[in-house]
Amino acid sequence: MSLYEHVFIARPDITAQQVETLIKDFSDIVSNGGGKVTKTEYWGLRNTAYKIKKNRKAHYVMLHIDSAHPAVAEMERQQRLNDDVLRAMTIRVDALEEGPSAVMRHKADKRDRVERSERPSRES
């Protein structure tokens, strides 16, 4: 079986619960094809670099997939038919990254930073 990183973005006007339903549906397609989704990361509602179908924001989701190509191809086909999915990209990789992705690490770093008001003041 091959390893894939798959990212899709969904319309901003759907709820987080509907995004979870999309994730489950796409994971089931991979499972029915004999593969498995090893990791799922919901990156949240984020700004896009440019307008996509008149939308400036989208729900971002990343899936780590261990599956044969036909199951991944069927998932991609279902995403093209789904009106809630704006864009999708699948990349075949040699090894899946352990731990959180770069996006999740960046979010954690931002939370860990000390706010300006909380920093000690400099006195001469």
Q: What is the pLDDT of residues 39-82, one digit of tens each?
A: 999 998 999 999 999 999 999 999 999 999 999 999 999 999 99
d(C-alpha 32, C-alpha 28), whole Å: 6
User: Is there a domain that residue 29 lies in?
Assistant: yes
Which domain, by its residues, includes 51? 2-113
- Residue 31 inside a domain? The answer is yes
Q: 24: which 2 tokens?
A: 């489950």
**pLDDT bracket for residue 120 (50, 70, 90):** low
Confirm if 66 and 24 have CB atoms less than 8 A apart: no
Is residue 105 in some structural domain?
A: yes
**121 domain residue, yes or no:** no
**Three-state DSSP class for 53?**
coil
Residue 124 within any structural domain of the chain: no
123 part of a folded domain: no
Whether residue 118 lies inside any domain: the answer is no
> From CA 28, how far away is CA 62, in angstroms rounded?
15
CATH number for position 65? 3.30.70.60
Q: Which residues pair with 65 in a beta bridge?
A: 4, 37
Cα separation of the two ends of the chain: 63
Q: What is the pLDDT of residue 5?
A: 93
Residues in the chain: 124
Per the structure, how many domains does the chain have?
A: 1
Whether 30 maps to a domain, the answer reads yes
Block residue for tokens 């075949």 = 92
Alpha-carbon torsion (70, 72, 75, 80), positive or negative: negative
Please report the pLDDT score of residue 114 as a whole number.
Answer: 56
